[in-house]
Amino acid sequence: MARSDFAFFHALRVRWSEVDMQAIVFNGHYLTYFDVAFTEYWRATGLPSAIMQAKEGKELFARKAGIEYLASARFDDVLDIGVRCQTIGRSSIQFLIEIFRGEEHLISGELTYVYTDTTLRKGVAFPADWRAIITSFEKLKPVE
């Protein structure tokens, strides 16, 4: 994907504690970067926070995470992390995440969540208003 495919970016500066002996970001930290950017994306949409969701007994549970390493980030790099909703199913939602340093594409990834009743530990349908908010935020065609 290109930078222009994303409606949302979160900037993050690589900290010293995140680099390894090769002076590059340790691979596991990219999942943390994904999570930070996803949290800011969710906040930008105005959808209920994880705390608000928990009070209602429903939450997004992580189902799948994937990373493709294209190039390395280094200490003090400023990264732009693009987050985009790729698909919304009945109870699952998939996000694509791309990390850039300037125009250089470093990392591609995906996160899949399932909207779940926390007592039953089973997926439930996304609220219609959530679907509408994300569709509008992403400028997607509504699903009929």
Gyration radius from the chain CA atoms = 16
Which uninterrupted H or E stretch holds 58?
A: strand 58-69
Could you write out the three-class secondary structure of 66-123?
Answer: EEEECCCCECCCEEEEEEEEEEECCCEEEEEEEEEECCEEEEEEEEEEEEEECCCCEE
Query: pLDDT tens digit string along 106-129?
Result: 999 999 999 999 999 999 999 999
Would you state the pLDDT for residue 139? 74
Q: Is the pLDDT of residue 64 over 90?
A: yes
Distance separating alpha carbons of residues 54 and 31, to the nearest angstrom: 22
Q: What pLDDT sits at residue 24?
A: 97
Amino acid present at 59: E
Taking the whole predicted model, whether its pTM rises above 0.85 is answered as: yes
Question: Average of pLDDT values for 103-107?
Answer: 96
Does residue 47 contact residue 133 with C-beta atoms inside 8 Å? yes
Residues 124-133: tens digit of each pLDDT: 999 999 999 9
Portion of the chain with pLDDT greater than 90, in percent: 88
**What is the pLDDT of the chain when averaged over all its residues?**
94
Model pLDDT, residue 83: 97
Q: What is the mean pLDDT of residues 37-58?
A: 93
Q: Is the pLDDT of residue 79 over 90?
A: yes
Please compute the mean of the pLDDT values over residues 83-105 and round it to a whole number. 96
